[in-house]
Amino acid sequence: MKDLRGAGVALITPFKVDGSVDVEALRKIVAFNIEGNIDYLVVLGTTAESVTLSKVEKQLVMRTVEEANQGALPLVIGIGGNNTMALVEELQTSDLSAYDAILSVSPYYNRPTQEGIYQHFAALSQASPLPIILYNVPSRTGSNMLPETVVRLAKKFDNIVAVKEACGNMTQVQELISKRPEGFLVLSGDDITALPTIVAGGDGVISVIGQGLPEEFSKMIHEGLNGNTEVAYSYHYKMQDGMKLIFEEGNPAGIKVVFEYLGLANPLVRLPLITASEALKHRIVSFMESMIRIPA
């Protein structure tokens, strides 16, 4: 398995005015992140609006990222949901040869018990041809995958190698870090807790804002991992307002405004999401204008 420590980013899916996938914009975003020293790319995560993409569109997104990346960075593919058997079939039948790991969100809406979550990922583990990164995001799934469940999965299944933890509770994150088996990665799933997670002993982040500020964000993460916390926090404090702003009206509406500002993509999202309000756009643009490169 390639190293998934450091700064990963959950790529958006840019759209054209006619609503179709903007392939050229996606290529530019991939190149922008490679040049910005991001460590790996996550394709078709929830930030990609994957639940509103057709199967054909998903294949187009995968092919586009693979071709634009040309093997430069490790690739992680999002394969998750609340229908366990459908996911098992997808894992068994998909061509995942271009990918290094799978990111799989804890089942949403069904609100399974901890045992149900465990059995769900046990089934995926047995079907998966690739290492699995668990994804805990209680604010979206309606259930919290507790540290004891994560640790149990990590100890039982060798191909469950990491967790993207977006519980928003640093006490839970610290418990997870302290109890995980050796070699199991704890990755932040919230930009605002990325550096605190690393300082607590975690291994990195799968970020949203990082794809729009790859140079600054990756610098923050790498300095944090190297123990240079003062330098790392100087980046964190510079970006923290943006970390909050981009989520004010839903993800990925905010980060798409960042890409509009950068001239890489337009800010369109698909229903039921709506494009960021003019008031929020103005605040995000003001934030981006304030971002001056911090000397290395």
Strand partners, 10: 42
Is 164 tagged catalytic? yes
Measured distance CA(7)–CA(191) in Å, rounded: 10
- Single out the catalytic residue among 28, 58, 164, 281: 164
**117 class by beta-carbon count within 10 Å (0-12 exposed, 13-18 middle, 19+ buried):** buried
- Single out the catalytic residue among 99, 135, 219, 235: 135
Please answer whether residues 133 and 103 qualify as being in contact, where contact means their C-beta atoms are separated by less than 8 angstroms. Answer: yes
**99 class by beta-carbon count within 10 Å (0-12 exposed, 13-18 middle, 19+ buried):** buried
Strand partners, 269: none
Question: What is the DSSP secondary-structure string of 268-294?
Answer: ---TTS-PPPHHHHHHHHHHHHH--PP
Measured distance CA(169)–CA(172) in Å, rounded: 5
**Where does 82-228 have alpha helices with state H?**
84-93, 114-127, 138-141, 147-156, 170-179, 194-199, 214-225
Q: Indicate which residues carry an active-site annotation.
A: 135, 164
